[in-house]
A and B are shown apart, each in its own frame.
Chain A
Amino acid sequence: QKEVEQDPGPLSVPEGAIVSLNCTYSNSAFQYFMWYRQYSRKGPELLMYTYSSGNKEDGRFTAQVDKSSKYISLFIRDSQPSDSATYLCAIRRDYKLSFGAGTTVTVRA
C-alpha cells in the first residue's frame, strides 16, 4: 500500500469552476500536509501547508485536513487558465516528504 494515494485525473474544468483535489494517506504519524503545484517542465512549488485538522485559506485556495479519516483536500475557487498544472499532495513525517502521484488539472478558457 502506498503511503499517499492521489487520483491522477486528469481533470478538465471551465474557467470559474471550483476544482476539488483529494488525497488519502495511510500512516497516522504524518505531521505536516502540503500541496505543491507543478507546471509543465518545471519543478514543484509549495502552495500551502498545514499541520492540523480543519481548513486553511489563502486567496482562492483552501486546504482541508481530516486526520480522523486520513484525508486531505485542496479546493480552488474561481479557477483560471493559469491554474492549469499538476497538483501534488505531500505529507511529511520527521524530515521526509512522501508525495502523491499528482492530479493534472486543465482550466478551459
Chain B
Amino acid sequence: EAGVAQSPRYKIIEKRQSVAFWCNPISGHATLYWYQQILGQGPKLLIQFQNNGVVDDSQLPKDRFSAERLKGVDSTLKIQPAKLEDSAVYLCASSRSLNYEQYFGPGTRLTVT
C-alpha cells in the first residue's frame, strides 16, 4: 500500500511570496489533515477534511492560508503572503475516516527568508 505522498519536499521563499504544497493521501482514505510542525514543537492541526468537506479549520490563519480538497482525493495548502514565522514542516496525514489511525507523509520543509 503506497503511503501519503507530498511535494515538494523542500521549499525556500522570501517573505511576502506565495507557496503551495500538494498532498496525495492513501487510496480510499476519506479524511485528510494538514499539520504545521515548527522546529522543536509537536504538529499542530491546521485543517481537516472529510471527503471534500471541511471538518475543522479553527487553527488555520485564514487571512493568509487556504486549503482545498477537490474531488475528495488530493489536497493543496497555500500560503499567501508568507511570513517568517511560517517557516516549518507542513505535514499531510490521512485516515480511513474520522477517529481512525492517521498516516503521515514525509512533510514539506518550508523556509521563509
Chain A residues near B (Cβ < 8 Å):
4, 6, 8, 41-46, 49, 88, 90, 92, 94-97, 99-102
Q: Answer whether A8 and B40 are a contact pair too, CB < 8 Å, given A43-B4, A95-B99.
A: yes
21 contacts between A and B (CB under 8 A): A8-B40, A41-B106, A41-B107, A42-B107, A43-B93, A43-B105, A43-B107, A44-B43, A44-B91, A44-B104, A45-B103, A45-B104, A88-B43, A94-B99, A96-B45, A96-B48, A97-B43, A97-B102, A99-B43, A101-B42, A102-B42
B-chain residues with CB within 8 Å of residue A94 when the two chains form the complex:
99
Chain B residues bordering chain A, tally (CB within 8 A): 21
Instruction: Please name the residue on chain B nearest to A90 by beta carbon.
Output: B42
Interface of B is mostly: loop
Question: Please, what's the 1-or-0 string for B39-57, where 1 marks a CB less than 8 Å from any CB in chain A?
Answer: 0111111001000000110
Nearest chain A residue, comparing its CB with the CB of B9: A41
Nearest chain A residue, comparing its CB with the CB of B3 = A43
* A42 and B98 contacting across the interface, CB-CB below 8 Å: no
The residues of A that contact B98 with a CB separation of less than 8 Å are: 95
B101 touches A (CB below 8 Å): yes
Question: How many angstroms from the CA of A53 to the CA of B91 in the assembled complex?
Answer: 30
